Structures are given as C-alpha cells and as structure tokens.
C-alpha cells in the first residue's frame, strides 16, 4: 500500500466502536466481538507505524464503561492484560512507545501491572507513540488538570490554555488531526474533549472488527483532501 506523504496526519485518535454489534450479528457473545476488535487493533497499530504516523490514541475503555455487566468488564480487562503482555515484545521491536492514559487508580492491580510493565519497557522508544485510553473520560481529565493547577497554587487570573493543556494526559503532544469513530454512532462519548477542538472528525459505518488496513489508508486519504482553516477565512 502506498501513501501520499504530504499532509499526513501526525496524530490519529480512534473510538473503536461496534464490537458488540459485530458479535451479535454472528449470534456470539459480546466478548467474541471484543477479541475480534483486538485483532483489528493489532493490525492498525502496525499500519500506523508503517505509514509513519507519529501518535495513535485509541479509546479502549471509558469512565462510563463500568456500567456494563461484570462479565463484560472483567472480560475487557482480561483482554487488556493479554494485549499488554503478549504484544509488548513486538511493539518494542517496532520501536513503539506505549502510553496508557486515563485514571489508572481504578484499574485492578493486574491490569495496572501489565500496563506499567509495557510502558516501562517501551519508555525510551522513539517510534510511534501509542496512547491507550483505559478508564479514560474527557471531563474527568479536564477536572484532574484543573485540580493539578490549583495544587500548584496557580492564581485564577494566570491560567492559560497552554497551562491547562500541559496538565492533560496528552501533555506535550499535538492534538489529534484526525478522529475516527467506527460503527455508525455519531457522538464523541467523552473522548479527548479538550484535544478535539480542531480535529477533523470521521464517522464511518464499518464495525470496528471489520476495519482494516485498506480502510485505514482510505481514511487517511480522505483526511488529506480536507481543508483545515482553524477559523480563518
Ligand atoms: C466498543 O464496542 C468497545 C468498547 C466500548 C470497549 P462496543 O462494545 O461498544 O460495541 P457496540 O457499540 O455494543 O456494538
Ligand atoms: C465509547 O464507546 C467507548 C469506547 C469505544 C471504549 P461506547 O460504545 O461505550 O459509547 P456509547 O455508550 O455508545 O456512547
Ligand atoms: Mg458501543
């Protein structure tokens, strides 16, 4: 697959949605869909490295996803642990830097341990930055950032956008250029609320397990055709 290197998005963020419906269509349990979704994620991480994307951020579990059944939540957490432990070697070999973002305090020791090991091993890698949003909520992130500024003793009058941005999980990273949501739902679901201010957003009907490298390439090409004006005429 060849890609136009001009106008490449530096940062791509993905709301990986539709695993449950994909499984339902096959009369299988929701976790079957989540496992299939994990396979798609592996492909898309590799493709992101191959395409020379600098940052990939994926929404894996939201602060609202705890409302799902205990079985589904524990199944999703198990998939996360398996992913971090089984994929980390390949990610490391490919110079990928894993960065788990979200309120990690609520994760179980097992999940936290696997996430921290993956981050520690890949910490000094200089290739793709791979942000995995786990127990992530955009509002929660902004509230935490405000608390951090207040704890630093910053006076209200002194607060700037840059200062707040530097307290977010994505501190130091450019905002996403392209945000994709699969599955046909047209909402943001508490993802990257601050960072998405000027992102180009794409909603596609494909269910996440059916998304692939060819569709990813098509998406990037569609992004490259968009005209970004940031409020100018
Ligand atoms: C997205 O797929 C994965 C997570 C939220 C963890 P869903 O599980 O939301 O799938 P649908 O939306 O029910 O099809
Ligand atoms: C958003 O998907 C969260 C993730 C993809 C992890 P949901 O399926 O949870 O979002 P809603 O509930 O449809 O808004
Ligand atoms: Mg969903």
E strand spans, 22-176? 55-62, 97-101, 129-136
- pLDDT tens digit at each of 233 positions of the chain: 678 888 999 999 999 999 999 999 999 999 999 999 999 999 999 999 999 999 999 999 999 999 999 999 999 999 999 999 999 999 999 999 999 999 999 999 999 999 999 999 999 999 999 999 999 999 999 999 999 999 999 999 999 999 999 999 999 999 999 999 999 999 999 999 999 999 999 999 999 999 999 999 999 999 999 999 999 98
Q: Mind listing the pLDDT tens digit for each residue in 65-111?
A: 999 999 999 999 999 999 999 999 999 999 999 999 999 999 999 99
Ligand 1 atom closest to Cα of 16? Answer: 1
What is the pTM (predicted TM-score) of this model? 0.98
For position 194, what pLDDT does the model report?
A: 98
Which ligand is the nearest neighbour of the Cα of 191? 2
Ligand 1 mean position, distance from CA 143 (Å): 25
pLDDT at residue 1, rounded to an integer: 67
Residue 4's pLDDT is what?
A: 87
Residues forming the active site: 17, 65
Distance in Å, CA 231 to ligand 3 centroid: 32
Return the structure tokens found at 11: 């940062």
Domains of the chain: 6-136+175-224 (3.40.1180.10)
Model pLDDT, residue 2: 79
Torsions phi, psi for 97 (to 5 deg): -105, 115
CB of residue 21 inside a 6 A radius of ligand 1: yes
Strands, E assignment, the chain: 11-15, 55-62, 97-101, 129-136, 178-181, 200-203
Q: What is the pLDDT at residue 233?
A: 86
3-state secondary structure of 201: strand
Ligand 1 atom with the shortest distance to the CA of 61 = 6
- Ligand closest to the CA atom of residue 76: 1
Q: How far is the CA of 29 from the centre of ligand 2 (A)?
A: 17
Mutate which of 64, 189, 203 for ligand 2? The one with the most ligand atoms within 8 Å of its CB, which is 189
164-182 confidence digits (pLDDT tens): 999 999 999 999 999 999 9
Q: Check pocket membership of 19 for ligand 1, CB cut-off 6 A.
A: yes
Pocket test for ligand 1, best of 14, 15, 16, 19 (most atoms within 8 A of CB): 19
Q: Is 16 in the pocket of ligand 2 (CB under 6 A)?
A: yes
Whether ligand 2 lies within 6 angstroms of the CB of 190 is answered as: no
Atom 8 of ligand 1, nearest CA residue: 20
Ligand nearest to the CA of 181: 2
Helices 30-51 and 213-224 pack at an angle, to 10 degrees, of 60
């Amino acid at each position: 697959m060849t890609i136009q290197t001009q106008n490449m998005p530096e940062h791509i963020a993905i709301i990986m949605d539709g695993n449950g419906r994909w499984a339902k269509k096959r009369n299988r349990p929701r976790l079957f869909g989540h496992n299939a979704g994990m396979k798609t994620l592996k492909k898309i991480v590799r493709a992101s490295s191959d395409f020379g994307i600098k940052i990939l951020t994926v929404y894996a579990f939201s602060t609202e996803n705890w409302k799902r059944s205990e079985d589904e939540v524990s199944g999703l957490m198990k998939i996360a642990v398996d992913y971090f432990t089984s994929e980390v070697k390949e990610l490391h070999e490919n110079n990928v830097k894993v960065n788990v973002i979200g309120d990690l305090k609520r994760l179980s020791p097992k999940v936290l341990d696997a996430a921290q090991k993956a981050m520690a091993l890949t910490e000094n890698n200089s290739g793709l930055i791979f942000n995995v949003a786990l127990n992530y909520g955009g509002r929660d992130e902004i509230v935490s950032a405000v608390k951090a500024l207040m704890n630093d003793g910053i006076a209200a009058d002194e607060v700037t956008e840059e200062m707040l941005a530097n307290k977010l999980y994505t501190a130091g990273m450019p905002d996403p250029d392209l945000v994709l949501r699969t599955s046909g739902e047209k909402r943001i679901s508490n993802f990257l609320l601050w960072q998405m201010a000027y992102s180009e957003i794409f909603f596609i009907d494909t269910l996440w397990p059916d998304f692939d490298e060819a569709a990813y390439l098509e998406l990037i090409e569609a992004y490259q055709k968009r005209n970004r004006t940031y409020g100018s005429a």
